[in-house]
Structure 1
Amino acid sequence: MAGLKLQAVSKSWDGKTQVIQPLTLDVADGEFIVMVGPSGCGKSTLLRMVAGLERVTSGDIWIDRKRVTEMEPKDRGIAMVFQNYALYPHMSVEENMAWGLKIRGMGKGLIAERVQEAARILELDGLLKRRPRELSGGQRQRVAMGRAIVRDPAVFLFDEPLSNLDAKLRVQMRLELQQLHRRLKTTSLYVTHDQVEAMTLAQRVMVMNKGVAEQIGTPV
């Protein structure tokens, strides 16, 4: 397991418009933190900075006690789950889950082992040969999570992963995410605009507004 530390991290566009005010956050090993706030408050931008998809204007990011501020995304030990699943439509479930490991040069035997284990955890065993178009929204999101799990990351990053699901399925997937975190105990940073989702999933909630972390604490 690994911790995550943001040290006075900020982001501005064109050097003038500040979208993230200097923010410091310590996420303990295995902790599940949810960032909640309205659209445009900066929470997804902050997540993308942790992932290395956005440059940090000032401050530092540490993962597993290593400074990763200027590191490439592939070298940070993170795995990200998006709201639109980001699956390759021409690939099977198995191929989608294996792709990231394949391009990193991992051996076929180890890839197969990791994919089978993730499929078992997420109950995707019988779906490995299907294409994304043959799956429900919930199943597609499980595949996206499986693709993240096989990488055995230090930190999971979730960018509104349930927002495209209907209300009933969101409730089910929240339960599955809770069970998954209890099982894997991987440090997680999760973004949502849904307060119920935040209160259900989080060990701590960070409330963001206009680029400022207004409050951080445990759910009531």
Structure 2
Amino acid sequence: MLAAMSFRFGQMVLVMFGISVVAFLIFFATPGADPSARIAGRNASQETLVQVRHDFGLDRPLPVQYGLMMNRLFVSRDLTSFVNRGQRVIPAVTAAIPVTLSLVGGAAVLWVLGGLIVGVIAGATRGTFIDRALMILSLIGVSIPVFWLGEVANLLTQSRWHDTWPFSWVPPLGYIPLTKDPWGWFKALVIPWFTLATLYVGLYGRVLRASLIEMMQEDFIRTARAKGIGERR
């Protein structure tokens, strides 16, 4: 058990290292990616660019730049944003963690439950009107861009229909901490939960339906039917 956990942990470290290297190369080594130009601002002189590269270590080899960034990120923890000067990265990420976990956690519960319900009902009613209707709705959910659906949800719940009784309970945009107001936390996130879960309910529902239909054609299912076991069981 300990060996397996150590092996998995080593794999996780390697994957995270690979992701960090790829992300670093995308923003620092691809053609046209010059962090010093973003730091110095538009129409900066060459002297300013040279000085900025020297101050931030951007004139050094790429492996050295990567090591310096990792040191500022994990050791000294004083890495600042290259876009918003003076903004520290670690506090910004730490402040966003509760919001992200709240959004993803609630949406995950909805899309797992919704995907199970859609997939099981569609698989059990294969070829019927219910199956076709669920698959059409799932296809629509998969095809709708999440950012567009979020904008429409905000338009309806925060602007046009906010004063109507179906959406009068929706609080203004913003995050309410769970420890401060649990009910307010729930009300502020329920619309984003459904917005984010719409895509994955359709995706997981279609995949589960296909898996159930494939499994219902296996030999052990036909044997169970031949022995008189009902479809519900």
Instruction: Compute the TM-score of the two structures, normalised by the length of structure 1.
Output: 0.25
In terms of Rg, which structure is larger?
2
Structure that is richer in strand per residue = 1
Q: Which has the higher helix share?
A: 2
TM-score normalised by structure 2 residue count: 0.24
Q: Which has the higher contact order (CA 8 A, sep 6+)?
A: 1
